[in-house]
Amino acid sequence: MPAIVAEALTKHFTPEIRAVDGIDLDIDDGQIFGFLGANGSGKTTTVRMLTTLLRPTSGRAQVAGLDVFSQPGAVRRCIGVALQEVGLDDIQTGRELLQLQARLYGLASSGIAARVQQLLDIVDLADAADRRVKTYSGGMRRRLDLAAALVHRPKVVFLDEPTTGLDPISREAIWRYVRELNTSEGVTFFLTTQYLEEADRLADEVAIMDAGKIVSQGSPADLKSSIGTDVVTLRIDGGPDELKRGEAAVRRMEGIEDVRIVNDAVIVYVADGSAAISRLVLLLDEASLRAREVTLAQPTLDDVFLQKTGHHLEDGSVAPQAEQNALAQSKGHGR
């Protein structure tokens, strides 16, 4: 049985602001699914719909075999959610917060203390368990938030940008917990991220979201091999004019799949990169241009992202108004 299914899932805040524009998902049980996209691409809005926090404009979705919109209570019993904005109560201690969470999920009183202690041990917060949450660092808060999402042993866990803003050690720790839970308990993870490395290292399958639509989907290896070429990056001395001339010059070479200008470089997609480099440099030389740096690489998810969306992931927001709208939905008045 698929863990998550969505058909033509859509959320339009206004006719112009199409945060999510008819996406389809079919995520197998036990997968780690990476939902990759820039700020404002519609990732958070998708998570809010799949976790019953937001009604869609149209479309349908099922989580753990339950209809998200007609059985929201049953869905909430099966899922764990750690949203992008860590949702904690500063006045409680870490232990109290988990205990309350356990009670609200209906865990038997006799088992709550042991389950809470187990989770505190898993996320390395046992020593800080009786301190108020307001004294926790950013990494500790993330870990507590993750523990709160796991208290009732959910089948499906949604993590919305779980490592954004964390230092590398805390990030590694979160990845380790996700992998362990996925392996040992078969928990399905739906993980949104804007970190390519995170998607590459954690996810069994990745969907690339851009401007409210899924533009590509597959395993990280399949997505990278779909490019079918090496990637040669030519950093050229000069400004935008030189870059345009450089692009025109290298396009003359036979066997080139694609050429793009990205920031201060010309990116060339070519089947045999090592054989093409000398010819590319020669073509630049003939155009009176000098490459100050030439690199050859296998395609990364960033290259896939660039090819599918026309921009790098770190280039910034695609539809920031949609994300702001979703944020306003959660913080301010409802619509």
Work out whether 88 is an interface residue with other proteins (CB under 8 A).
Answer: yes
Query: For other proteins, what does the binding mask look like between residues 134 and 173, x meaning CB under 8 A?
Result: -----------x--x-------------------------
Q: Which helix H or strand E contains 276, and what residues bound it?
A: helix 273-286
Work out whether 86 is an interface residue with other proteins (CB under 8 A).
Answer: yes
Q: Minimum CB separation from other proteins for residue 151, in Å?
A: 9
Which residue(s) pair with 6 in the sheet? Answer: 25, 61
Q: Tell me the pairing of strands 32-37 and 188-193.
A: parallel
Structure tokens at 118: 């187990």
Nearest-5° Cα angle at 154, 95 to 77: 95
Structure tokens at 252: 């003359």
Q: Which residues contact 66 (CB under 8 A, 6 or more apart)?
A: 74, 75, 78
Q: Which stretch binds other proteins (CB under 8 A): 79-87, 185-193, 264-272, 280-288?
A: 79-87
Which of residues 130 and 222 has its CB atom nearest to other proteins in the complex? 130
Which of residues 85 and 204 has its CB atom nearest to other proteins in the complex? 85
Which of residues 271 and 328 has its CB atom nearest to other proteins in the complex? 328
Work out whether 236 is an interface residue with other proteins (CB under 8 A).
Answer: no
Q: Which stretch binds other proteins (CB under 8 A): 37-45, 46-54, 120-128, 293-301?
A: 46-54
Helix (H, G, I), strand (E, B) or coil at 36: strand
With beta carbons less than 8 A apart as the criterion, state whether 171 and 163 touch. yes
Cβ neighbourhood burial of 307 (10 Å; 0-12, 13-18, 19+): buried
Which of residues 151 and 265 has its CB atom nearest to other proteins in the complex? 151
Which of residues 90 and 185 has its CB atom nearest to other proteins in the complex? 90
With beta carbons less than 8 A apart as the criterion, state whether 153 and 121 touch. no
Binding positions for other proteins, rule: CB under 8 A = 51-55, 73, 76-77, 79, 81, 83, 85-92, 96, 100-101, 103-106, 132, 145, 148, 329-335
